[in-house]
Amino acid sequence: MNYRFFFKRILDVLISLGLFLVLFPIFVLIAITLIIHHRGNPFFGQARPGLAGKPFHILKFKTMRDKYCEEGRLLSDELRITALGKVIRKTSLDEIPQLINVLRGDMSLVGPRPLLEDYLPLYSQEQSRRHEVKPGVTGWAQINGRNAISWEKKFQLDVWYVDNLSLWIDLKILFRTFFNVLMGKGVSQKGEVSMKRFTGRSVA
């Protein structure tokens, strides 16, 4: 049977279930801390395009407060992110709830990161190929620069993964992700909380 369509799912369920059980005490601790610190829901949920662009509801720990300007628009990320939120992002602990997305089948442990639905009409035909596989908690682009690289480079790496997906590549990505998280590599672009919005100006 093909790894991409069968064994990859088994790997996803076994590893994500094991990780969630191990991390569950941390999951509960972060949730309680955020409820107290942010005085509200500790989770961030948003519709994101998944396999074939089909939307699903992604889960993350909330790292920003809901602050609005006088006109009713959300303030910039820089003004909304909290000190606690910065720590949670730097350590990638905000991604733990996505293990639930993996168990539900919305995501895979490894694949192109799920981005905003607003970006769908901005992709070139080649860039849109990143949706030929399930989005991942981590991916080839994440271990090769994450948010510190350009959008064009990120999409090139995503498509490379789609064309070269294998058990060996997935294990390599998971292994390198562990060390990148420990070192906090590539969490944001210089001068940004995470990464500037994609505007469709591409492709190389």
Q: Is there a contact between 108 and 135 (Cβ–Cβ < 8 Å)?
A: yes
β strands within the chain, DSSP E = 43-49, 55-61, 108-110, 136-138
Cα–Cα dist 42/61, whole Å: 6
The confidence score (pLDDT) of residue 68 equals 67
Q: Which stretch of DSSP H or E encloses residue 26?
A: helix 8-38
pTM: 0.86
Radius of gyration of the chain (CA): 17
Tokens of 29: 């601790």
CA 56 to chain centre: 13
pLDDT at res. 187: 53
Residue by residue, pLDDT tens for the chain (204 residues) are 688 888 999 999 999 999 999 999 999 999 999 999 888 889 999 999 999 999 999 999 998 877 766 676 766 667 778 888 888 988 889 999 999 999 999 999 999 999 999 999 999 999 999 999 999 999 999 999 877 788 999 999 999 999 999 999 999 999 999 888 877 665 544 444 456 888 886 544
Query: Which H or E run includes 12?
Result: helix 8-38
- Tell me the CA distances in angstroms from 54 to 41, 109, 123, 134, one per residue in order: 26, 18, 15, 10
Q: Say what the pLDDT of residue 178 is.
A: 87
pLDDT at 159: 97
Q: How far is it, in rounded angstroms, from Cα 72 to Cα 66? A: 11
- Strand, helix or coil for residue 143: helix
Token representation of residue 28:
């509960």
User: Would you say 129 and 51 are in contact if contact means Cβ atoms under 8 Å apart?
Assistant: no
Q: What is the pLDDT of residue 6?
A: 87
Could you tell me if 23 and 55 are in contact, meaning their C-beta atoms sit under 8 angstroms apart? no
Domain boundaries, the chain: 3-183
